[in-house]
Each structure stands twice: as C-alpha cells, then as structure tokens.
C-alpha cells in the first residue's frame, strides 16, 4: 500500500479513537471497521474464545469479504432464547472496550424474544449497572409508562442498549450519582455487534431508537434527532443480514423527556406512528 494511503488510514483511525461526543462518531464512521478490527480479533469469537452467536452462517473467508454480511436465519422461539442467552453470557464476560473494566454488571437486555417492538437506548446508567437490567431507574419508569400507553407491557417488548456497560464521566467513583454519560465512538463501535445480533435474532417489525445516540448509530445518519424523527427507515446492519425487513423510528430518550416534559407530546406522536402500523389502540383517549 502506498505510504500516503497508510498515513491517511492512520489519521482516520486516530480520529476515530479520539471521537468522544455523540455527534462525532458518525463523522468517524468510515474508519469504524478498522477500529472494530482492534476490538474484535475474530467476527465469530470473543477474546475469551466464546462463540459469539451459534445461529448465524459462518463468516465469509477473506476471499469473500466483499460479499454481503452473514444472513441471520429465522429462528424458533427456543432457538432465539438460546441464542440470546449465549450472547448475553458473552456480553457479561466481554472486555472489548474500557467500559468492561469499570462496570459493575453488564446489561445485555431483556424481554420477549418474539416481540414486534424493540426499544434501544444508548447505555446503562447507575441503577442499571447495579441491577444488570435495562431501563430500571427513573427513565425506565417513564419508558414503562410509554410502553403501557401504546397498549403493550414491558413483558411484550424487548429492551436493550447500544452499549452494554455503564459509561461513566468519572469511572474512578462509580458510587457517584449523576456520573452517567453517553458511550463514545470507540465504545459504540466495539459493542455494536452485540445489538446487531440481538436485533437479527429477535427480528422485530419495529425498532424504536431512544435518543440521538441510538438513532444516529442504528440509522447511520449524523443528522440531529430532531431531523431523524417523524419517519420510518429500513434498518441495515453491518455484521449480519436480517432474515426479514425491520423498520426503525427515532424518538426522545425517556431521560430527556424527564428533563424536558414539553417534548412528551412529540414522543407520543412518534409512538403513535408505530401503533398505527401495528394496529395498536393503546391507551389513546
């Protein structure tokens, strides 16, 4: 490879590793695969050697690398449950990014494996880190209300995050409240494969991205959350091909709604778009 090309790749990689803000990671998306190589010795095994997902076709050989990503098979409920349990165990043992050394517990996600609706936030917070479950703090209580308002229950949907471990402003003091932050570009890139595999295994009809970080990451668009809201997108994953089409819509993160109650009306409009597609009457008055 020409020296100029190597220099350019090195510069892009450095930019990727230093991107911190939620708006920066998309700008660094081009070299994301290079960074993922650092995080992922193999696309099918963890550093501990565990099989990441047993239900997907084998990763392409080097000669086939330009072919589409592996195709996820449509699975039975039992196969989905087993695959998600295997994946959750891998996540709990994961140390592919620095969050693995500061978390109390990884938070793989939970819910109905046959759901039509999957909610995806940005990452665990204080309460989630302690309980190992997603959205169990104040924001989670509001999410529960949003789900019920749609005519669903927490048990009928699947809830997960882009990053599976608690990103902290000050990792040296995990006991502090108000220590949460959004996952940075490196953390998202390292963890991305997990949420992609969860979506591919569950294969819901709709993914509802909660907040700008999840929306930009999954829609792969650097626009603001305000610009991304209000429409459905076809979901495309990097590491696996979905067995059937999945649509994604973006709305506000419940934590943002707690800080800005005036946005709840717009969030409800977003949820109603999904309800209309699924024929849910919900708790609409």
Using CB under 6 A, list all residues that contact ligand SF4.
91, 94-97, 99-100, 106, 163-165, 187, 190-191
- Rounded Cα distance between 69 and 3, Å, is 30
**What is the nearest approach in angstroms of ligand SF4 to the Cβ of residue 185?**
12
Token pair belonging to 272: 């109603």
- For ligand SF4, the closer of residues 80 and 103 by Cβ is 103
CB contact set of 117 (below 8 Å; sequence gap of 6+): 150, 152, 156, 157, 158, 204, 205, 206, 207, 208, 274, 278
Neighbouring CB atoms inside 10 A of 107's CB total: 30
* Alpha-carbon dihedral 220, 222, 223, 228, rounded to 10 degrees: 20
**What is the nearest approach in angstroms of ligand SF4 to the Cβ of residue 38?**
12
Token pair belonging to 246: 């999945």
Token pair belonging to 61: 């050989």
**What is the nearest approach in angstroms of ligand SF4 to the Cβ of residue 168?**
12
State the residue number with the nearest CB to ligand SF4. Answer: 100
Token pair belonging to 99: 């969050």
Residue 20, burial from CB neighbour count under 10 angstroms (0-12, 13-18, 19+): middle
- For ligand SF4, the closer of residues 91 and 240 by Cβ is 91
- For ligand SF4, the closer of residues 192 and 229 by Cβ is 192
- For ligand SF4, the closer of residues 110 and 187 by Cβ is 187
Token pair belonging to 237: 């994953």
Residue 158, burial from CB neighbour count under 10 angstroms (0-12, 13-18, 19+): buried
**What is the nearest approach in angstroms of ligand SF4 to the Cβ of residue 166?**
9
**What is the nearest approach in angstroms of ligand SF4 to the Cβ of residue 275?**
31
**What is the nearest approach in angstroms of ligand SF4 to the Cβ of residue 282?**
33
Neighbouring CB atoms inside 10 A of 261's CB total: 9
In terms of Cα–Cα distance, which of 33, 43, 45 is closest to 70?
43
CB contact set of 10 (below 8 Å; sequence gap of 6+): none
- For ligand SF4, the closer of residues 34 and 278 by Cβ is 34
- For ligand SF4, the closer of residues 11 and 169 by Cβ is 169
**What is the nearest approach in angstroms of ligand SF4 to the Cβ of residue 108?**
8
- Rounded Cα distance between 252 and 261, Å, is 11
- For ligand SF4, the closer of residues 97 and 246 by Cβ is 97
């Amino acid at each position: 490879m020409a020296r100029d090309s190597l220099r350019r790749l090195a510069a892009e990689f450095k930019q990727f590793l230093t991107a911190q803000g939620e708006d920066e990671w998309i700008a660094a998306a081009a070299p994301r695969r290079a960074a993922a190589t650092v995080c992922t010795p193999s696309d099918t095994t963890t550093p501990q050697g565990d099989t990441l997902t047993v239900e997907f076709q084998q990763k392409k050989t080097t000669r086939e690398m330009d072919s589409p990503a592996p195709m996820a098979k449509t699975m039975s409920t039992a196969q989905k449950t087993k695959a998600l349990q295997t994946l959750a165990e891998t996540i709990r043992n994961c140390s592919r990014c620095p969050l693995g050394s500061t978390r109390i517990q990884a938070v793989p996600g939970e819910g109905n494996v046959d759901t039509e609706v999957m909610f995806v936030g940005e990452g665990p917070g204080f309460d989630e880190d302690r309980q190992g479950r997603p959205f169990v703090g104040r924001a989670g209580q509001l999410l529960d209300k949003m789900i019920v308002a749609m005519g669903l229950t927490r048990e009928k949907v699947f809830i997960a995050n882009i990053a599976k471990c608690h990103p902290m402003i000050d990792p040296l003091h995990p006991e502090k409240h108000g220590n949460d932050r959004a996952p940075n570009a490196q953390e998202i890139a390292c963890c991305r494969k997990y949420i992609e595999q969860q979506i591919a295994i569950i294969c819901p009809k709709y993914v509802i991205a909660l907040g700008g970080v999840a929306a930009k990451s999954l829609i792969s668009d650097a626009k603001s959350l305000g610009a991304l809201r209000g429409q459905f997108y076809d979901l495309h994953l990097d590491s696996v091909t979905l067995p059937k089409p999945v649509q994604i819509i973006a709305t506000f993160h419940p934590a943002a709604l707690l800080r800005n109650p005036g946005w709840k009306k717009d969030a409800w409009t977003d949820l109603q778009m999904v309800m209309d597609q699924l024929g849910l009457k919900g708790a609409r008055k």
